[in-house]
Amino acid sequence: MRRLISDELAAHKYDLLHVHLIRMAQYGDEIVEPKRVLDLTDAGSLYLERFLKSTKNPFRRLFLKMELGRLKRYEQILDRFDVSLVCSEVDADVLHSRSPRANIDLLYNGIDLEYFSVSGAAHPDRGRIIYTGNMSYYPNIDGALFLINEIFPKIKKSIAYAKLYIVGQNPPSTLKKMSGNDIIVTGFVPDIRAQYLQSVVAVAPIRFGAGTLNKILEPMALGIPVVATSVATEGLPIIDGKDVLIADSADDFADSVIRVLNDSLLQTSLGSNGQSIVRKKYDWKIIAERLDTIYHQVLRTPTVQ
């Protein structure tokens, strides 16, 4: 990989090298020209720290401790780049603690608002709750199990007609086995918009992870009210009770979902406020302009040696 990059840089003149994700940093850290941007998305060590706190398996804990130590040391590589980008202030603060001399800037995650738009009025199914994500990703699996085992039974006690849809590719057998009349595990779907627009409320009971989650931004863009944990909403410029409902315990989360299912006015206000925020801050066009500004700032400053 180093040889291929070196050959490419020798054959063509580039103004800037954009390195995507921490695992690729090792191939750009020793390059002096052109200028280098490291696009991290999130702080990997923060993800591992939260994973470690959430797991009780002794063998997994041992592995995570070893890997966390390695990653903390490796994240000092940020010092060698002209700028490093993350999508939330929380991730930026963590990475600054690992690499104090690093130049770290914010570049929000975003979504395609032309795709995530509503043509005509949505007609959600009564009592339909949706949880989305790549179901091969462990925090999403953990969130689904938390939702199915601890939160949804409390919702069903209050709203007997409630149905839960777990939507996303590659669900493990543990989730597939739980699919039935009231819990539907769909696997991959061709159009996620239709799934959102059939739902009254989108939920994100994420207990660990890092970065900004599209499972929050996508339903908000479509005007679907969201109930999420504080971890899932971390770094987003949103107000609890106005733009989304935030709850962490199973009881509080279930109560918040029940509130939304029973209150059409709350559904409308949360949906409208959330949609407004996403359209102002998370449109790909706005983020692309921000990235272009960062590129030009890097090109005007001395190269990191």
Q: Does pTM surpass 0.85?
A: no
Structural domains of the chain sorted by starting position, each given as residue range(s) with its CATH number in brackets: 2-110+285-300 (3.40.50.2000), 128-282 (3.40.50.2000)
DSSP class of residue 156?
A: H
Q: Which DSSP state fits 30? A: T
Q: How far is CA 136 from the centre of its chain?
A: 15
Among 193, 206, 218, CA closest to 142: 206
d(CA 305, CA 289): 27
SS3 121: coil
Residue type, position 115, single letter: Y
Q: Give the residues across from 163 on adjacent strands.
A: 128
- DSSP per position, 245-301: EE--SHHHHHHHHHHHHH-HHHHHHHHHHHHHHHHHH-BHHHHHHHHHHHHHHHHHS
Note the pLDDT tens digit of each residue in 43-93: 889 888 888 887 888 898 999 999 999 999 999 999 999 999 998 888 899
Output the pLDDT for position 51. 85
Q: Which parts of the chain have pLDDT scores under 70? A: 119-122, 209-212, 303-305
